Amino acid sequence: MLIISLITFLISTTAPGDPVEQMLTSQTGDGSSSANLQANEESYLEKRKELGLDLPIFYFSIGQKSIPDTLHRIPKPAFRKNLSRLINDYGNWPQISDYYHNIKKLQLKLASVQRDSANATPLIQANDGVKALYIEPNPDKMDFNLEKISKAIVAAPSIGGNSGIGQELAALKSSYNEMTSKTSTWKNYVPSFKFYGLDNQYHRWFFGDKPLFSNGDGNWASKGFLRGDFGISYKDQRPVSSVLFSAVRWTFMISIISILLTYLIAIPLGVFSAKNKGKLSDGIITSFLFIMYSLPSFWIAILAVVFLCGGDYLGWFPPFFNPDLSGGFFSDFKSLAYNLILPLFCWTYGSLAFLSRQMRGGMLSVLGQDYIRTAKSKGLPDSKITWKHAMRNSLLPIITLFASVFPLAISGAIVLEVIFSIPGMGKVGYEAVVSRNYPIVFAVMMFSAILTLIGYLVADILYAVVDPRISYNSKK
């Protein structure tokens, strides 16, 4: 689970997009004034700190001597990426840092200029040049943007005459020349180890930023994945736990019912086919199940909605999952069962052929063993031989499959939940991927991985329950 959490976290840190900008959807203003620019930046930094993105990514880092241990404090991902490329090109972080801060100072000065009809276009050009410098590592393009800013300032006296803008531009050009002339690229070839301690993004995400118990009062801390805090949704800023818990009940209920139906139907069919190997009934069952297995569930679901859910055809079932749970127990049960018929059918039929075939193969291998022939020679009833002796030992392949089926109880069937509009984990996960709502995506990934581990554990326990010869105790 630790390795899975590391891989999941690594993917989350390299995912495209800026979560802070995605969450600040209520931000207004175009940054044309100094007040708006500073207010937007303060909101950005505050939200970034709230999410813990101002912390180092991991407990330590192994990199180049030229890379400082404070690069993670640069707020914008695009800015950090550009600074990393400048470090790789020049290796002199003090000069690169001065260059970056001078860009920021000039931007603030330009934002303080009162815009009018005479300076509107030059001011836009100057601001565009400044914004380009934040993300441009190419020397030719940096020269071009610096020249673009200079021409824009000269073209509008109200800009060039503003107190401090000329000095800030001169300081920027000076720091740029210092950066490009005083290179220290040799530092890129010297390895460096940096230790950050427990105050990092991974530790906060997985373990939390508080001890398991507070100072003697016995209250549980509320931070960290292990304690049920899965982060904040980028879309509506709700806790991810509340989003998932409202969806998991539907997926869990449908998946558990589907798994039970699959095993209750597939096991007897597999036993019956094995007992009647080569007969007409075996051929009919096998052919029918494999025809069903070959039909994609999403295609069957679409056909069912088109032909059985109203419109120009039969209106036997509701086209969308919308049970009325406002009545009593029996009324709610009836409405829920009515809404679940088609989803459960589409969820279940595809697994019947595979599981029944596994059960048939397991039964055939067991029925040919010596102890079955011995039981027959003793005169035991055929039903007792089949269901008590043979079936128990033939369940091992079915138990093995349980480990892969169990995670579906949480992750859900994305396509089917979208088709039937079931507000389950699959639909929530799909919408999270489309909207780049990564905390929900990675929480679903972690749950699925953890349930896979639990499935393997349960399967190992069931091995010992089904077959007494399997034991995990050391024998002397």
Q: Find the CATH number of the domain harbouring 417.
A: 1.10.3720.10
User: Within a domain: residue 404?
Assistant: yes
Same-domain pairing of 297 and 182: no
Same-domain pairing of 184 and 302: no
DSSP codes joined into one string, 64-105 = ETTS-TTGGG---HHHHHHHHHHHHHH--HHHHHHHHHHHHH
The token duo for 375 is: 């039981």
Q: How far apart are CA 61 and CA 58, in angstroms?
A: 7
pLDDT of residue 180: 93
Q: How far apart are CA 384 and CA 389, in angstroms?
A: 7
Average pLDDT per consecutive 10 residues, the chain (476 residues; last block may be shorter): 86 80 59 58 82 87 90 88 94 94 91 80 90 93 92 76 78 94 92 90 81 42 72 83 84 85 88 87 88 87 87 82 80 86 87 83 82 82 78 74 66 78 85 84 83 80 73 59
Angle (nearest 5°) at CA 243 between 240 and 245? 105
Q: How far apart are the first and last CA of the chain?
A: 32
Distances (CA, A) of 355 to 6, 34, 106: 34, 67, 68
Last residue of a domain, one of 192, 215, 250: 192
SS3 393: helix
Same-domain pairing of 270 and 157: no
Last residue of a domain, one of 192, 210, 230: 192
Show Cβ contacts of residue 218 under 8 Å, excluding neighbours closer than 6 positions.
none
Name residue, tokens 């991991």.
58
Same-domain pairing of 178 and 64: yes
Domain that holds residue 169: 55-192
How far is C-alpha 172 from the geometric centre of its chain's CA atoms? 41
pLDDT of residue 353: 81
The token duo for 320 is: 């969308």
Same-domain pairing of 411 and 267: yes
Beta-bridge mates of residue 186: none
Same-domain pairing of 274 and 423: yes
pLDDT of residue 26: 43
Name residue, tokens 């086919």.
273
Same-domain pairing of 188 and 61: yes
Of 113, 117, 87, residue with least CA distance to 169:
113
User: Within a domain: residue 224?
Assistant: no
How far is C-alpha 426 from the geometric centre of its chain's CA atoms? 12
Angle (nearest 5°) at CA 319 between 314 and 324? 115
> Contact, 292 vs 351, CB < 8 A?
no
Beta-bridge mates of residue 315: 309
| Amino acid (1-letter code) at residue 412 | G
Q: Total structural domains in the chain?
A: 2
Same-domain pairing of 247 and 177: no
Count of CB atoms within 10 A of residue 135's CB? Answer: 13
How many Cα atoms within 13 Å fall on the side-chain side of residue 102? 22
pLDDT of residue 91: 93
User: Within a domain: residue 24?
Assistant: no
Query: What are the backbone dihedrals phi and psi of residue 232, each rounded to the nearest 5 degrees, phi first?
Result: -120, 135
- Which uninterrupted H or E stretch holds 25? none
Same-domain pairing of 179 and 305: no
Same-domain pairing of 270 and 143: no
Q: How far apart are CA 39 and CA 23, in angstroms?
A: 16
Same-domain pairing of 445 and 316: yes
Same-domain pairing of 366 and 287: yes
User: Within a domain: residue 18?
Assistant: no
pLDDT of residue 36: 62
The token duo for 27 is: 């931000």
Count of CB atoms within 10 A of residue 283's CB? Answer: 13
User: Within a domain: residue 374?
Assistant: yes
Of 281, 449, 259, 451, residue with least CA distance to 355:
259
SS3 408: helix
